[in-house]
Structure 1
Amino acid sequence: MASDQTALQRGNDGTMDQPSSIRLSLILIGLCLAVFLTGMDQTILATATPIISNEFKALDDIAWWSNAYLLTLSSFQLFYGKLYSLFSIKLVYLTAIALFEVGSLICTTAPNSIALIIGRAIAGLGAAGVFSGGILITTKLIPLSRRAAYLGIMSGAFGLAAIVGPFLGGALTDRTTWRWCFGINLPLGAVTVVLCAVLVHLPKEPEIQSIGLVNKFKQLDIPGTICLVGSLICLLMALQWGGSSYPWNSSRVIALFVVFGILLIVFIVTQMTMITGNSRTIPASLLKNRDIWLAASYAMCMTGGVYVAILYLPVWFQAIRGSSALSSGAMLTPLIGGYVVCSIISGGVTSAIGYYNPGMIIGTALSIAGATLLTTIHMDSSIAKIVGYQLLYGFGVGFGFGQPSYVVQTILPPSDVPIGVTFITLMQNLSASIFVAVGQSILQGELRSRLQSILPDVNIQSLLNSGASDFASSLPPESRQQALSVYSVCLVSTLYISLALSCTSVVGAIGIRWYSMKKTHGQTIDDTSDQPGGIRDGATAGNNGEHVEISPTDGESFAEIK
């Protein structure tokens, strides 16, 4: 009860410190820079891997240079959520950036492929705590009613990194050396460290400080974390290997799925039976809240759909329209640009009206329209149509992408916000891996069946192994145009995943209940049957000494209703 009252005295967003506009701007620059660097590291190798593979003579390791980063980035999300819940947010955030910098340094100086893989894994381990840590710092410095506008800028920085990554990687590789693809993180990351170390002053958390160090480590739930991280690594490796390095029915892929299932079951059983109270990796307030799960489903739909489009549209540009690698990246700019612009607009609109639901509904409507139109492109589609369709889809994703994190910040108590934010980030990363793998399976299955009917005398497997851009040149001249037409249809068929996910996001957009991000002091919450939760026992308190009455509820979280 004492912790609940303390949380209320801070206000329902835990905000106490109100930095000046100049100081807040510098902090936001540092946070956005860190998000930009960790986001860019997911795409910067797209144009640099051929040169790296030539230097290290390690063609077979190409996939691991990206996968090692993504594996640790995804798997340690919830672990960072526990760290942010139990230790100083600023300290954990700076440690995450330091790990990212150490990994980048190892990659910059890597003498061989193994060292590069290790460096990428360490960089991903640090990056796992950067985006969620940036969000959590804003929860302590910016009132909930104004927070969406700033977080929209941060989401835009992440999207911008996806555009800049391949171009910057190509430019650095051509003009200097591929090592600067990682070396660039060192000075720019240092700027974030300095800005945050000097300017970020977060309110003290008496509840956290009162917990002894031994008890904090007990609450980290190390056995549960090991099971969860292990299961996620097995799942992601199975999705990365299946259909590319090994067939889906190979013993390695099947074994990975089996181990994933066993470890996940062990994690769930221990969470339900052996782990209690604050020691749970996923608190009861999150597990029992329908709006959190709807927000997670919405995040998965938006993220999975846009990643499929980002991956397969450039392949279509190169293989069907004959674009170069860099030109295909430029052709993708409308989609990412639309996302960046509308992420910022959406944040401002959400901040102004105080509700995240309109942004989710608009995002769903625009993404459905854009994805529908993208599935209609063909070999002879005009540039104007391709650009316009991408813009519309990008607008939809931009409007909806950041909203799930606003949901958890609004309806969860401050103590559970770190886990809530990292849970949404985990769902986004998993969604990207899962649906990209689904897209690969659809593409290969459709290509095999369709090409076999028009090219019965051609070895289809060797054709599929020729590479996306070399597909046409490996075909017999007399059947090249017909096969390209089939290839175009199969590539576009992957975009039906984006359409299906956009349609599915309707459930989250409509199902999530409306709770205001603005403070409405002096209001009594008495409809306990229709709210996600509240502080028990009728605790009363408020910001600046104002009186806020809150009725008892049966949940663990709280929010203010319109």
Structure 2
Amino acid sequence: MTGAVAVADDPAAPMSRAKTNIVFGTIVLGMLMAALDQTIVSTALPTIVADLGGAGHMAWLVTSYLLAEAVATALAGKLGDLFGRKLVFQISGLIFIVGSMVAGLAGGMLLLVVARGIQGFGAGGLMVTSMALIADIIPLRQRGKYQGALGAVFGVTTVIGPTLGGLFTDHASWRWCFYVNVPVAVLMIALAARTIPRVRAAAKPIIDYAGIGLVALGVSCLILGLEWGGEQYAWGSSMIIGLFVAAAILLGAFVAVELRAGEPMLPMGLFRSRVFTVCSVLSFIVGFAMLGSMTYLPAYLQYVDGVSATMSGVRTLPLVAGLLATSILSGQVVGKTGRYRYFPIAGTLVMAIGLYLMSTMGRTTGVWLESLYMLVLGLGIGSAMQVLTIVVQNTVPYTQLGTATSGVTFFRTLGSAFGTAIFGTLYSNEIGPNLTDALTRVRVVAPEVAVDPQALRALPAEQSAPIIDAYTTSIDHVFFWVVPVALAGFVVAWFLPEVPLRDSARAGADDVGEGFSVPDSPDRLVQLERAVAAAMRKARDEQPIGPRILADADSDLTPGEAWALGQVYLRDRITGDATLAAIARAHHLPDEVIEPIYDQVGAEGYLSREGKRLRLTDFGAAELDRIKAAWRRWLDSRLDDWNAADPTDRALLDQALTNIATKLLEDQAREEESVPA
């Protein structure tokens, strides 16, 4: 299996801090929109149903988005390698704009579901290329900080989406949940065109189109069968049986294709690892519980408690607070102790308790008690969610590291889609008969009033009570029947083995951004660079790295001299423009500032001049090779446990470390400001 290394189409000087922050802000806009739209519609769902009808399709407004996002997540990384990540980022933004416009203008539920699928496809591309662009443009030693921040943006915007959706629904229109994306996305595309450098892959990747297509169709058939069963078609009907049979055939074909593919989307060999299998199942269950519950909680709060769309988003904040609290706490504990196994065990059990408690809520349940139940569910989800990606990165062979990381995230996204669909099926199968029975008893209430939360709140208590009880019974039924899923996760979690965490995994464990399983690049080099950045952050807290490297290389060079030689090597190798003026310009310095150090290394025999061009002498090249080798030894010692004992793994890591060591020469020198005055 080979990996594509990203290279610039038009190599340029290192970006200034200000430009780096502008580029990062542009990438954040893409992540923000994509993450928000996973949950922003949840508080608007009752109003959308009242406006457009089609209550049976309500869950598909979330499911279609998540399914399309999962497919795009699998495709976008490879397409970025093939056509350039900047182009894929911009096209994904354009697709997202089209989906948002169609969703905002939709006059029927079916068109809105299709538009949400278009949005989801654009969102998947935005999220994956966002993470890959960070790896392309941010210096290695700063990368962990930026990736963690992007992960935190993903997590926070995902969970505050319901509140924002409620604000738009109450104070403008539910359509503004979609319209608001258009100006933001246009700004993002314009900024990307001006600020993000063009990056392409040095080698064309192999894209597993067959595998991606088969799993997308197979999962779609399975979810359609679950969604339509018992609602639009009887469970024993030819349509439902046909969908399940088609799903089985398509998913079986997917497994067969993956066993033979050159670069499979999901290598079947990963499932020989008990850690990967358990973490994938748990990721599925966590996604199932989190998105499913967050989709139907606002509906409960609006129909049963009679709160506005905005307040239904605000009232879900205890769930968010619990999720964030245990995500941060578990990360801190894992980072300090390296022990992780009992967090998924405890988390899934607490999730089950939280779901059961929420299934007991009713018209007479107090606000504080409801908030406590939501908090319990959030505490469980956060405890189980944080460690799963870290554990997988700790155990799989390095050659499959990126694919395994993406695989766990893929299962979480699928879990979210299945959770929303199954929650929707349970809800739809209950609400129809319950609402019909309630309306039979309250003959003066029209059906269109019963599905509109605002109109329902305006009814006298004796008329609204049976209808509210119908909603209570239906949504409580949903939460109750998800309890066995959480308990299944509790049983599965006991099979998760405890293995010692690598230093790099522990160094990243206490970053809250890691806990939200952001769709990540499947590029193995990107994954290694994240580990390197984490290791360097940890080492930097102990003592400066540069002097240790020079001492290990037994070099007589000063940090400034090593920096000067490194600049000549890098520019000669990458741009062919190793001149004093080019180096000074790249660092926004006058030539006179750095000229003395080049005179000095020239006098010592490390450097020669051919006109304006600087060249390393054989003596200088040998000295720099010793420093690079020392960098490589230092990294190898910090990351040795990433490659286990696999010779292929080892060779791949050696190659990656050699490439990274040259980058680190520049990053180390610039960050320590070792350019002499």
1:330 matched to 2:314: yes
Counterpart of 1:521 (choices 614, 629, 635) is 635
| SS at structure 1 position matched to 2:30 | helix
Q: Which residue is equivalent to 2:75?
A: 79
The one-letter code sitting in structure 2 at the alignment partner of 1:277 is G
- Is the contact between residue 72 and residue 121 of structure 2 (CA under 8 Å) also seen in structure 1? yes
The one-letter code sitting in structure 1 at the alignment partner of 2:186 is A
| SS at structure 2 position matched to 1:302 | helix
What is the CA–CA distance in structure 2 between the aligned matches of 1:232 and 1:198, rounded to whole Å? Answer: 39
* Post-superposition offset of 1:445: 8.2
Q: Which residue is equivalent to 1:302?
A: 286
**CA 1:388–1:246 in structure 2 vs 1: closer, same or farther (change >3 Å)?**
same
* Post-superposition offset of 1:335: 0.7
**CA 1:251–1:95 in structure 2 vs 1: closer, same or farther (change >3 Å)?**
same
What per-residue deviation string (whole Å, max 9, x for no partner) do you get for residues 507-547 of structure 1?
A: 4764566233244634398889977886245974636649x
What is the CA–CA distance in structure 1 between the aligned matches of 2:15 and 2:190, rounded to whole Å? Answer: 17
The one-letter code sitting in structure 1 at the alignment partner of 2:418 is I
Q: Which residue is equivalent to 1:365?
A: 346
* Post-superposition offset of 1:187: 1.7
What is the CA–CA distance in structure 2 between the aligned matches of 1:483 and 1:172, rounded to whole Å? Answer: 27
TM-score under structure 1 length normalisation? 0.71
| Structure 1 segment 5-154 matched on structure 2, within 5 A | 22-48=18-44, 65-84=61-80, 86-110=82-106, 116-140=112-136, 150-154=146-150
What is the CA–CA distance in structure 1 between the aligned matches of 2:489 and 2:422, rounded to whole Å? Answer: 16
Q: Which residue is equivalent to 1:376?
A: 357
1:423 matched to 2:410: no
What is the CA–CA distance in structure 2 between the aligned matches of 1:489 and 1:111, rounded to whole Å? Answer: 31
Q: Which residue is equivalent to 1:249?
A: 236
Q: Which residue is equivalent to 2:216?
A: 229
- Is the contact between residue 301 and residue 505 of structure 1 (CA under 8 Å) also seen in structure 2? no
**CA 1:296–1:538 in structure 2 vs 1: closer, same or farther (change >3 Å)?**
closer
1:281 matched to 2:281: no
TM-score under structure 2 length normalisation? 0.61
* Post-superposition offset of 1:136: 2.9
Q: Which residue is equivalent to 1:557?
A: none
What is the CA–CA distance in structure 2 between the aligned matches of 1:21 and 1:501, rounded to whole Å? Answer: 48
What is the CA–CA distance in structure 1 between the aligned matches of 2:475 and 2:114, rounded to whole Å? Answer: 38
Larger displacement relative to structure 2 (51-60 or 381-390):
51-60
What is the CA–CA distance in structure 1 between the aligned matches of 2:112 and 2:464, rounded to whole Å? Answer: 41
Larger displacement relative to structure 2 (328-337 or 480-489):
480-489
Q: Which residue is equivalent to 1:535?
A: 649
**CA 1:66–1:394 in structure 2 vs 1: closer, same or farther (change >3 Å)?**
closer
| SS at structure 1 position matched to 2:100 | helix
**CA 1:18–1:247 in structure 2 vs 1: closer, same or farther (change >3 Å)?**
farther
**CA 1:387–1:19 in structure 2 vs 1: closer, same or farther (change >3 Å)?**
farther
Q: Which residue is equivalent to 1:551?
A: none
**CA 1:268–1:245 in structure 2 vs 1: closer, same or farther (change >3 Å)?**
same
* Post-superposition offset of 1:116: 4.3
Q: Which residue is equivalent to 1:292?
A: 276
What per-residue deviation string (whole Å, max 9, x for no partner) do you get for residues 179-214 of structure 1?
A: 4322211221234334444444587643x2xx4xxx
What per-residue deviation string (whole Å, max 9, x for no partner) do you get for residues 479-510 of structure 1?
A: 99998996686455245246425524634764
**CA 1:376–1:229 in structure 2 vs 1: closer, same or farther (change >3 Å)?**
closer
What per-residue deviation string (whole Å, max 9, x for no partner) do you get for residues 44-63 of structure 1?
A: 33454566667768777666
| SS at structure 2 position matched to 1:128 | helix
CA RMSD of aligned residues (A): 5.1
Q: Based on CA coordinates, which of the two structures has the bigger radius of gyration?
A: 2
- Is the contact between residue 31 and residue 154 of structure 2 (CA under 8 Å) also seen in structure 1? yes
What is the CA–CA distance in structure 1 between the aligned matches of 2:51 and 2:428, rounded to whole Å? Answer: 31
| SS at structure 2 position matched to 1:45 | coil
What is the CA–CA distance in structure 1 between the aligned matches of 2:480 and 2:489, rounded to whole Å? Answer: 15
The one-letter code sitting in structure 2 at the alignment partner of 1:190 is V
Counterpart of 1:270 (choices 232, 245, 257) is 257
What is the CA–CA distance in structure 2 between the aligned matches of 1:29 and 1:338, rounded to whole Å? Answer: 28
| SS at structure 1 position matched to 2:41 | helix
The one-letter code sitting in structure 1 at the alignment partner of 2:381 is V
- Is the contact between residue 80 and residue 200 of structure 2 (CA under 8 Å) also seen in structure 1? no
- Is the contact between residue 643 and residue 649 of structure 2 (CA under 8 Å) also seen in structure 1? no
Unaligned runs of 5+ in 2: 8-12, 505-533, 536-633, 663-677
**CA 1:335–1:155 in structure 2 vs 1: closer, same or farther (change >3 Å)?**
farther
| Structure 1 segment 449-468 matched on structure 2, within 5 A | none
**CA 1:308–1:253 in structure 2 vs 1: closer, same or farther (change >3 Å)?**
same
- Is the contact between residue 318 and residue 324 of structure 1 (CA under 8 Å) also seen in structure 2? yes
| SS at structure 1 position matched to 2:38 | coil
* Post-superposition offset of 1:269: 1.8
What per-residue deviation string (whole Å, max 9, x for no partner) do you get for residues 454-476 of structure 1?
A: 99x999xxx9x976977999999
**CA 1:539–1:160 in structure 2 vs 1: closer, same or farther (change >3 Å)?**
closer
What is the CA–CA distance in structure 1 between the aligned matches of 2:60 and 2:92, rounded to whole Å? Answer: 22
- Is the contact between residue 67 and residue 417 of structure 2 (CA under 8 Å) also seen in structure 1? no
**CA 1:226–1:308 in structure 2 vs 1: closer, same or farther (change >3 Å)?**
closer
Larger displacement relative to structure 2 (329-338 or 137-146):
137-146
- Is the contact between residue 218 and residue 246 of structure 2 (CA under 8 Å) also seen in structure 1? yes
Q: Which residue is equivalent to 1:386?
A: 370
| SS at structure 1 position matched to 2:357 | coil
The one-letter code sitting in structure 2 at the alignment partner of 1:521 is L
Q: Which residue is equivalent to 2:669?
A: none
Unaligned runs of 5+ in 1: 11-16, 547-562
Q: Which residue is equivalent to 2:186?
A: 190
What is the CA–CA distance in structure 1 between the aligned matches of 2:351 and 2:399, rounded to whole Å? Answer: 38
